[in-house]
Amino acid sequence: MYIHQKKVRLLLKCFLPAPPLRAYVRSIGIVHFVFEKDKVIPAKPYAPRPETSLYFFPRDPENIVYPGNDVKIKRASACVYGQHTMMNKRLVGHDFLALIVHLQPGVLHRLTGIPLNELTNTDLDAELVLTKDVKFVNEKLNECHSYEDMLSVVECFLTALIRQVKKEAHRVDQAMQYILGHAGRVSIDWLAKETCLCGKQFERKFRERMGAGASTLSRINRFNNTVKIKNATPELDWLSIGLQCGYYDYQHLVRDYKEFTGLTPTAYFALDATAPERALGMCEESRLYTK
């Protein structure tokens, strides 16, 4: 995975972190697109996913646009991304490189001490909420000659970062892990009992540590699994995908798509077909790679 200076660079993969980091990090993604200077780059529709993340943008910046507002917001070169419950649009530059650290449930709260319901549907400059060393990561990434080296830089930073964790793990974190492992319907009452919390305590703690309620995140996880299945098997019809993921019928699936994207399933995938990676003949994969 070396970076060739005279060729168009294309990479869209997620990698398993080193074993000592896996209790804190689900995966590390690398997105690298290089477009010709006169190329008009389409926007990327980014639907909600059950995740909080840490982003690094060593090259061209990324801008984000939220529904109902055409204002382009320039993201910090290193930022923390809270749990989102609405779709946004991403606008990238001609030499776009992003390293994305997908954190395990509850870890962003543990690292920052911030109630994550304060970060819902937004992101923040990582330097404001994490160690000041975060500003040097992009400098090191720009000096790398291979993607393997980039992963090593990020993992080295993360190893130091988790030594400064501010909060202990909680049973609610395990409840979110359970939701992630079950693509269909999940009993929230049963989860609350398993954490030895009453319903109100469970919901309050869940929002504090995850950024949204358990029922909402369970629905986002189920919705996101339909996106993954459609990407992997585009020939499958929507009813089959919906039933596979725990929806009662097609209209049940449509309701979630309209809530989380504002579009029907067919309209959302028609829009996604115009995304930057699609223009380059690529699509997101669910598979995790090792270095």
pLDDT, tens only, 4-22:
444 446 889 999 999 999 9
180 domain-assigned: no
100 domain-assigned: yes
Mean pLDDT in residue range 101-118: 97
152 domain-assigned: yes
Phi, psi of 244 (to 5 degrees): -60, -30
pLDDT tens string 23-51: 999 999 999 999 888 888 999 999 999 99
Which pLDDT does position 70 carry in this prediction? 83
Number of domains in the chain: 1
Which pLDDT does position 243 carry in this prediction? 94
Q: What distances in angstroms separate CA 18 from CA 12, 87, 159, one per listed residue?
A: 19, 31, 10
Q: What is the spatial distance between Cα 228 and Cα 243, in angstroms, rounded to a whole number?
A: 14
The answer to whether residues 76 and 122 touch, using CB atoms and an 8 Å cutoff, is no
280 domain-assigned: no
Which pLDDT does position 9 carry in this prediction? 64
125 domain-assigned: yes
Percent of the chain with pLDDT over 70: 97
Domain containing 122 equals 10-166
Which pLDDT does position 39 carry in this prediction? 86
pLDDT tens string 173-192: 999 999 999 877 789 999 99
Q: What is the spatial distance between Cα 61 and Cα 206, in angstroms, rounded to a whole number?
A: 32
75 domain-assigned: yes
22 domain-assigned: yes
Mean pLDDT in residue range 56-63: 96
Q: Residue 197 above 60 pLDDT? A: yes
CATH of the domain at 142: 2.60.120.10
44 domain-assigned: yes
Mean pLDDT in residue range 260-277: 95
